[in-house]
Homo-oligomer: A and B are copies of this chain.
């Protein structure tokens, strides 16, 4: 949304600013993993914008079984990582926000073991593996930042296993909401108190291993407790502390993503 506004209110020759806005979440996210230089950001921004793509909502960016050839990174919009059972049941394994790397298996694995689909219209960058490798080889800081991002992703995956395996319904939903909000905040998205939240209740259900009907009732509980409000794809957290407690949330697993957003971004 912000970038569209900028595109509209700025004269055409200021597209460069809108472009930079598009990679903001990515830089913002990576900057937590390593101290990037101006040159690092420049190189990455350049490549990301050059390799830009766009897809509508509910479109597969990566399909299970296919050979990985590009590193794909969400720039704008939401996507999901998922895997399905032979009986059709789908588990959403992660919500991918702007700045999230879809997959970087490199050339080590011969096929993808999961799929990635857009939840909203998505703009992403699709960097050829060799080009990505050369960026990594050029900048040890970017290498470290991407490695950090990958390790955080895996840590989150483990937390989801814990979430689904051990937390009861309300805590499970609360945890998903709180984690997502924290991740958005750390990238300078939305807030304070209000965030765009495109998933349907049925998608929440697929993410936490419950049925849509039950998710609906649990959300009502959280609403009646005065913790959240949620209308028109917009999540309003009325009591961050309460939600955090309800979720039994411990930010350590996010490795720094949990803290407040970096106030001044490296290069604007």
A-side interface residues toward B, CB under 8 Å?
A: 33, 64-65, 81, 83, 85-87, 89-91, 93, 105-106, 108-111, 113-114, 144, 147-148, 151, 154-155, 157-162, 164-167, 206-209, 248, 250, 252-253, 255
Could you tell me if B208 and A165 are in contact, using CB atoms closer than 8 angstroms?
A: yes
Contacts of A151 on B, CB cut-off 8 Å?
A: 105, 108-109
A248→B87 contact, CB < 8 A: yes
Asked if B162 contacts A83 (CB within 8 A), the reply is: yes
Residues B158 and A86 in contact, CB atoms below 8 Å apart: no
Given contacts A109-B148, A111-B252, 8 further A-B contacts (CB under 8 A): A85-B162, A85-B166, A108-B147, A108-B151, A109-B255, A113-B255, A157-B158, A165-B206
With both chains docked as a complex, state the minimum distance between the C-beta of A139 and any C-beta of chain B, in angstroms: 15
Where chain A touches its partner, the secondary structure class is: mixed
The winner among A109, A161, A162, A166 for most chain B CB atoms within 10 A is A161
Given A148-B108, A164-B164, A165-B209: A83 touches B33 (CB 8 Å cut-off):
no
- Asked whether, in the complex, the Cβ of A114 is within 8 Å of the Cβ of B166, the reply is no
Report the Cα distance A44→B255, complex, angstroms.
Answer: 31
* Chain B min CB distance to A80 (Å): 13
CB-defined A-B contacts under 8 Å, sample of 28? A33-B108, A65-B252, A83-B158, A83-B253, A85-B167, A86-B250, A89-B167, A91-B161, A93-B161, A93-B162, A105-B151, A106-B147, A108-B147, A108-B151, A109-B148, A109-B151, A110-B255, A113-B155, A113-B158, A114-B155, A154-B157, A157-B157, A160-B161, A161-B161, A161-B164, A165-B207, A165-B208, A166-B209
Task: Name the contact of A157 in the complex, choosing from B148, B161, B167, B209 (C-beta under 8 A).
Answer: B161
Question: How many Å lie between the Cα of A267 and that of B111 in the bound state?
Answer: 29
In the bound complex, residues from chain B placing their C-beta under 8 Å from that of A109 are 148, 151, 255
